[in-house]
Every structure is written in structure tokens, then in C-alpha cells.
Amino acid sequence: MGLVLAAAVPALAQNSEPFKLTVGRYQSSADGPAASLSTDVNLRHSSRLGNVWYGHYVAPAEQLTQDRLGWDRSFGLGALRVSPSAQVATGGAWNGSFTVETGTRWYAGAGLGRTNLRPTVNLNFDPNDAWSLSGGYRWTEGAALGLVYVRDNRANPDQQHLHLLWRTTLADAHRLTVDLLHKRGLVEGEPISRTGLSVAYDWPRWFVRISYDPRVNFTTQDMWRLSGGTRF
């Protein structure tokens, strides 16, 4: 369901470079177990056919390696913007999402995501078998403020995320994005209520993002994520 966030608060400017390389380093920890480190490398190509991307995830402590291939695109359909996505991963896992949005300054949208329930690492971090609602306002100078609500509607209907997203342009074509997350649901039968935060900064070609995600993917683990990369 990562596409839901992209649809709710779109990029403020399009770069002429068609490729985007992102390298992420994730650290998860809980009471008792030692911290676990993992790495994700993602290469995306954008064209009039949409975005096609490949990802490689490695978690040595879990002896886990996963490769992923995905596609997404946005279409204009009258007053609507329609955004489908699809992803396949090693081990036979797949998922897809479909979102619809309308409005220019004020906007509203809804989405639905589905998987085949095969075991896989959820690197979208929002529930994937879920429905979503989004809405907000976009200013003409490039700033946008939006809300995105994502709720599992299949295996774990108690799991829900609420994102408050702020995005703005700065001097010299720099951009700042802040994503404040509140999550509720059951973790090993116990209800949780946690708040996370992600902050991203974009230069014209380079970018960096740091995130804190408590009870990541509704497990007992808290996760810090540092990622960055370049467009070319």
C-alpha cells in the first residue's frame, strides 16, 4: 500500500533523470533480543509506461534474502486519477493495489490492496491487505498537507495506520517531507497505540530519509530506517 501515500501527496517536481537508486539500512530491536540489521537496495526506472523497479533485501541475522519486482502508474480518467500497482517477490508472494483520487487543490481518494498471503517481508510497512482513505490540500507554490488512513480488512482487521503528511518546496529546488504516523492494533494479542515519524530531504539529485517505526509491521520490534540515494 505504499502507493497510497504517493497518490495522497504527490511529488512536487519531476526530474529529467529516469532512474532512482535507493539504499536503505534498517535496525530493529525489542526488549531482550539484540538489534537486527538489514539492507534494502532499490532501483526504479520511470517512463511513459510507468515506474518499474527492482529491490533486493538482505537480513543476515534471519538468514533471509528477498528479491522483488514491481510496477505502478497513474492514469487520468476524466476528473479521476487512477493508480494501479503490482509486485512479485521470491517465494511466490505477490501483491497489488488500486487507488482512485479526485480534486485539484482539495482532493480525496480511496484505495484497496490485496496479497496472496504468501510469507514475505512487508517493506511497504503499511498493512497490504487493506483499504485506505486519503484527503488534503495542495497549495500552488508546491506545498501539500494530507491525511492517509490505512486499515487491514482481511487477516488482521484491528491493524490501522493514520499518516499526517506535510510536503513543501524550499530554496534551490530542495524539498522537505514529514510523515507523522499513528498506529493501533494487536501485537501478540495485546493492544498497542504507538507514534512514529519519518523525515525526508531532497536535493535536486540526491535525497536522504530517516524514520522511526515502533512495532514495525505489528510485531514486537521497533525499527529505525536510514535511506538515501540519487537520481540519474
User: Over 50: is that where the pLDDT of 6 sits?
Assistant: no
Any residues with CB less than 8 A from the CB of 130 and at least 6 apart, and which?
A: 1, 112, 113, 150, 151, 152, 153, 154, 159
pTM listed for this prediction: 0.91
**Average per-residue pLDDT in the chain?**
93
Q: In the chain, pLDDT over 90 holds for what percent of residues?
A: 88
Fold classification of 2-231 (topology level): Porin (2.40.160)
Task: Provide the β-strand partners of residue 100.
Answer: 82, 110
Domain extents for the chain?
2-231
User: Over 90: is that where the pLDDT of 1 sits?
Assistant: no
More confident site: 48 or 4: 48
Q: Tens digit of pLDDT for each residue in 124-181?
A: 999 999 999 999 999 998 899 999 999 999 999 999 999 999 999 999 999 999 999 9
CA nearest to 133, candidates 102, 156, 157: 102
Contact 67, 60 (CB under 8 A): no
> In the structure, what pLDDT confidence band is assigned to residue 70 with cuts at 50, 70 and 90?
very high
Q: What local confidence, expressed as pLDDT, does residue 16 receive?
A: 81
pLDDT, mean of residues 21-49: 92
pLDDT, mean of residues 212-230: 97
